[in-house]
Structure 1
Amino acid sequence: MHAAGLGKQSLLIPKQPLLLLHGLFGFRELGPFVYFHGITEPLKSLGAKVVATRVHPTDSIANRAAQLQTQLSQVLKQYNTDKVHVIAHSMGGLDARYLINKLDWERNIMSLTTLATPHRGSYIADWSVLNIKQKLKIESLFKVLDIPLLAIDQLTPQYINECFNPEITDVPDVQYKSYGAWKQFESKFSYLYYFGQLLAEREGRNDGLVSMDSARWGQSFNEIPNCDHINIINWSESKFDIMPTYQKILSDLYHLEQQRELKWSIR
């Protein structure tokens, strides 16, 4: 856990709850493993209201978004509020965009911050469809086991750019911000070396699974240098410190709340 850089005096805490959304093949907790590793509890200890959500790891964007509704309702009731902030990693950002646009939760979601979300798809999804789903015939196995495997197809650039983005547009009253990461994958022993090289040839700088260009979305975009796709959720083989990024996110959300309160007080 890399949270040493956070201090109560330096961290501005938003009043509203923060919902954390996981990505493809994700989970909230899996035995001793926590998806947002060493992130949720340190932020809670500083006073933030943090709730990690859970949806099906491989289902469609629409179904995953629908599964968030009950959890969102519970958080609103638990904290006696009508607003939340959403912080979403990878595919979770697409789930959140669908939730806001199609399922009418725009009145309750003040902001969406996406972390390495493939807003324009990823070539790695194309590669996975060809080399994992088709060549290994893994989709047939999933069907036998009655496990949906729609997510990978819906992360391809063709699906996102031709089907998803034209329909799932941003809602004016929700603040959309995004973060993208990039890393030079020089060691062949790195877990994302192969995918990082593949993606670099087609989409440029990337975190091993999502390119910087694809991660860019919303009113502002921030870079996280020397960071890969799972460093963003505090899983690291290189002791990468992601906590300053979450500190900045919380500070930005605090200032957003202050701006909204001022706006309403003037009316």
Structure 2
Amino acid sequence: MIHKPIDLAVLLETILKKILTTWLGALLLALTLLPGSSWAAGYTETKYPIVLVHGLFGFDNIGPVDYFYGISSSLRADGAKVYVTQVSAANSTEVRGEQLLTQVKQILAATGAAKVNLIGHSHGGPTIRYVASVRPDLVASVTSVGGVNKGSAVADVILGVAPPGSLSNTVLVSVTNGLSSVISFLSGGSGLSQDSLAAVKSLSTAGSLKFNQAHPEGVPTTACGEGAYTVRGVSYFSWSGAKPYTNVFDILDPALALTSLAFSGANNDGLVASCSSRLGRVIRDNYAINHLDEVNQTIGLVNLFETNPVTLYRQQANRLRNLGL
């Protein structure tokens, strides 16, 4: 029997065609499984403007890098009016809350809207809760993302290791105040007061308990339950991650893996325990993402095997839209 010589070029072309066909088929299947509405114009078009609020050491942008990386532009692309606010990078919840309230009033005056949808990350969670508590007439909804709603063990450790008045605490406060001032200056927020010790106290378990007594709206009354979905006309939501280390290329993930040790095995995103993040209607508290992934940082280096954070914000905007908010 005579065998014809193998034409490597033809063989390679055949293999490539099969691979391409397989990938195209998988892509088409994936597209058919996606909700059609997510591609429709107006998917994120909420009735009221969306206001994004950063967390501890947060910023609106440093050069080309946004704190909510790629999130505001994606929301705007399908109809949402989005405003990114700037409050103190480090200060008490009440101080940050008053700064935010001033900006909310400015946004309402500029847009003519009656209310806003507040979305806050990390310390931004309690910050937006403060505004909703003191001025519920100006707020349609509160969405806490990885929010420190019942305190953080990391803040407790900092206060325990460096109690107020000690030399180590003085050094710690000086360094963190300096860092927050630099971040605030680079992001166009110079002039805002910075007080990292006040921030850590606000984010501690004791500080959060005191804050919750004054502003209890949406806070679960059980250790790891849900809170009231609606209080004084304001709808409350929350979601968070529970995987501190998610991407080997993200240089900040190892730091979050270390801080996660403060939680003694409890589910956490590296800086906030899942149970502490819960507020109002809990969408999920166990996404396989970490505290920085929750705002699509560092520059989009997130878990490739979990729903992309940008998608989570888009879904929340659509959820608010469908509720008439």
Tell me whether the two structures share a fold, i.e. TM-score over 0.5.
yes
| 1:120-151 CA-partner distances (Å, limit 9, x unpaired) | 10100012224467535235637899842210
1:247 aligns with 2:280: no
Could you tell which deviates more after superposition, 143-152 or 84-93? Answer: 143-152
- Alignment of structure 1 residues 43-82 onto 2, 5 Å: 43-82=75-114
User: Computing the radius of gyration over CA atoms, which structure comes out larger, 1 or 2?
Assistant: 2
SS of the aligned residue for 1:151 comes to helix
Given that residues 132 and 138 in structure 1 are in contact (C-alpha distance below 8 angstroms), is that contact kept between their aligned partners in structure 2? no
Q: Distance in 2 between matches of 1:91 and 1:173?
A: 23
Given that residues 185 and 196 in structure 1 are in contact (C-alpha distance below 8 angstroms), is that contact kept between their aligned partners in structure 2? no
Structure 1 partner of 2:236: 176
Given that residues 74 and 310 in structure 2 are in contact (C-alpha distance below 8 angstroms), is that contact kept between their aligned partners in structure 1? no
Could you tell which deviates more after superposition, 170-179 or 214-223? Answer: 214-223
Q: How far 1:110 moved relative to its partner?
A: 0.5
More helix by share: 2
Structure 2 partner of 1:158: 206
Number of residue pairs matched? 249
Q: Distance in 2 between matches of 1:91 and 1:244?
A: 22
1:39 aligns with 2:103: no
Structure 2 partner of 1:208: 270
**How high is the TM-score relative to the length of structure 2?**
0.70
Q: Distance in 1 between matches of 2:214 and 2:73?
A: 36
Cα gap change, 1:153 to 1:190, in 2 (>3 Å): same
For structure 1, the residue ranges without an aligned partner over 5 or more in a row are: 259-267
Cα gap change, 1:31 to 1:252, in 2 (>3 Å): same
- From 292, 295, 298, the counterpart of 1:233: 295
Q: Distance in 2 between matches of 1:238 and 1:47?
A: 25
Structure 2 partner of 1:261: none
Could you tell which deviates more after superposition, 185-194 or 167-176? Answer: 185-194
Q: Distance in 1 between matches of 2:315 and 2:45?
A: 10
1:197 aligns with 2:261: yes
1:199 counterpart letter in structure 2: F
For structure 2, the residue ranges without an aligned partner over 5 or more in a row are: 1-33, 182-192, 218-230
SS of the aligned residue for 1:235 comes to coil
Given that residues 15 and 254 in structure 1 are in contact (C-alpha distance below 8 angstroms), is that contact kept between their aligned partners in structure 2? yes
2:105 counterpart letter in structure 1: S
SS of the aligned residue for 1:137 comes to helix
Q: How far 1:189 moved relative to its partner?
A: 6.8
Structure 2 partner of 1:14: 46
Q: Distance in 2 between matches of 1:139 and 1:61?
A: 20
Same amino acid, percent of matched pairs: 27
Q: Distance in 2 between matches of 1:148 and 1:256?
A: 38
Structure 1 partner of 2:123: 91
1:20 counterpart letter in structure 2: L
Q: How far 1:238 moved relative to its partner?
A: 3.9
Q: How far 1:248 moved relative to its partner?
A: 1.6
> Over the residues paired in the alignment, what is the CA RMSD in angstroms?
2.6
| 1:205-242 CA-partner distances (Å, limit 9, x unpaired) | 01000011001111334235210000010014345421
2:171 counterpart letter in structure 1: I
**How high is the TM-score relative to the length of structure 1?**
0.84
